Amino acid sequence: VGAALPVDVLTYEEKSMSAILRVISSGFVKLWSALTLLGFYQNRRCAFRVLQTSPFLLALSGNSRELVL
């Protein structure tokens, strides 16, 4: 409360329960902290796993470790 932050959900895949979130760079730590502290949502346990972060959306489109030349 008192630290509202605009966050955009760019994509969400219900099957894998994964999402791409967009937040301004100055709000990154606040968002990460909020996700870390959230343990219940609507009386159900929840947890978040951050798979990747980047200041550039294009960098999230692929995994450089799986790149085949």
DSSP 55: S
6-59 pLDDT, tens digit each: 999 988 999 988 888 889 888 889 998 888 899 998 999 999 888 888 877 777
Q: What are phi and psi of 12, to 5 degrees?
A: -145, 125
**Phi-psi region at 34: left, alpha or beta (left = phi > 0; alpha = psi -120 to 50):** alpha
pLDDT, residue 45, reads 94
Rounded to whole angstroms, the Cα distance separating 53 from 7 reads: 14
Please tell me the pTM assigned to this model.
Answer: 0.70
